[in-house]
Amino acid sequence: MTLRDDHLRVPLSPGTIVLPHGSCEALVARLHRYDSTDEVREALERVEPPEGVRLTAAHKAFLIRVIDEWGTDVVGRGESLPPGIRKLGDGLLEDLSEPTDGRRDTV
């Protein structure tokens, strides 16, 4: 299978996160546990690779919450998140913490 066939690209400011298809399916399934997630689920399901999914700031914040709660659940059972999900959560958090004017702070 090619990247186009079995992966989801999520372009973020720190870089593009690539999720295996199975991880994306697990995330979509996880979203079914929450009320009012149709918009986020649809964004993940309707994307046409290799374009990548585009998420609003509200989508990103919601997904961070979902991934954090999911991580807590699986750790409590001695399991782990599907491949790429933690990296997605970290990337979303970093993306939201970037200055909105397009400039990055430098030291």
Q: What is the pTM of this model?
A: 0.81
Q: What is the pLDDT of residue 34?
A: 85
For residue 102, being part of any structural domain is answered with no
Quote the crossing angle between the two packed helices 21-31 and 85-97, to the nearest 10°: 70
In a domain, 37, yes or no: yes
Whether residue 106 lies inside any domain: the answer is no
Q: Which amino acid is at 26?
A: A
Look up residue 71 and give its amino acid.
Answer: G
Give the helix ranges, DSSP H, for the chain: 3-6, 21-31, 38-46, 57-76, 85-97
Asked whether residue 47 is domain-assigned, the answer is: yes
Q: Is the pLDDT of residue 9 over 90?
A: no
Q: Note down the domain range covering 59.
A: 3-97
Q: Is position 45 within any domain? A: yes
Residue 5 has pLDDT above 70, yes or no: no
Domain annotation covers residue 44: yes
Given a cut of 90, whether residue 87 has pLDDT beyond it is yes
Burial (CB count within 10 angstroms: exposed 0-12, middle 13-18, buried 19+), residue 106: exposed
Indicate the number of domains in the chain. Answer: 1
What are the residues whose beta carbons fall under 8 Å from the beta carbon of 19, sequence distance 6 or more?
Answer: 7, 8, 9, 10, 27, 83, 84, 85, 88
Give 29-44 pLDDT, tens digit per residue. Answer: 999 888 767 888 888 8
